[in-house]
């Protein structure tokens, strides 16, 4: 990734980690997620996640929005390596509990889809 994407990723990782530290320190209700995004695939190996992040980072260089995906994945990987689980704390009641890293991943994926659709649309006209 370029410097801009790396800086964004580092900032987003820091925001996620600080948010988790804050909610735990003030006793906010949390969920200990041993799966991946939205508690899917419990017990997945952190090494496997790290390999996926490395492959993705090398495949999608120079993409601003991809920095969001890498940041979200890396932030949750930090939890998984450090704690053995991911701390989730955003509970909407109608959706599985999640955290800011999951939000960053979702924003990155949606933005990439929108950008790609826009580029395809514009190339047809």
Which is the catalytic residue, given 3, 16, 79, 102? 102
Cβ distance 4 to 64 under 8 Å? yes
CA nearest neighbour of 60 among 121, 5, 117: 5
As to burial, measured by CB atoms within 10 angstroms (0-12 exposed, 13-18 middle, 19+ buried), residue 96 is: middle
Active site residue 102: yes
- What's the angle, vertex CA 71, arms to CA 8 and CA 113, rounded to 5? 90
Q: What are the helix (H) ranges across 27-99?
A: 46-59, 66-83
Residues labelled catalytic: 88, 102
């Amino acid at each position: 990734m370029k410097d801009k994407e790396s800086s964004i990723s580092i900032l987003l990782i820091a925001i996620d980690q600080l948010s988790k530290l804050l909610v735990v320190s003030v006793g906010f209700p949390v969920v200990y997620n041993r799966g991946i995004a939205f508690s899917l695939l419990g017990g997945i190996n952190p090494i496997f996640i790290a390999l996926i992040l490395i492959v993705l980072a090398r495949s999608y260089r120079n993409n601003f929005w991809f920095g969001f995906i890498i940041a979200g994945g890396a932030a949750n990987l930090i939890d998984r390596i450090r704690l053995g689980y991911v701390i989730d704390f955003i509970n909407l009641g109608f959706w599985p509990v999640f955290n800011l890293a999951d939000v960053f991943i979702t924003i990155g994926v949606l933005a990439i889809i929108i950008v790609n659709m826009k580029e395809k649309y514009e190339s047809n006209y």
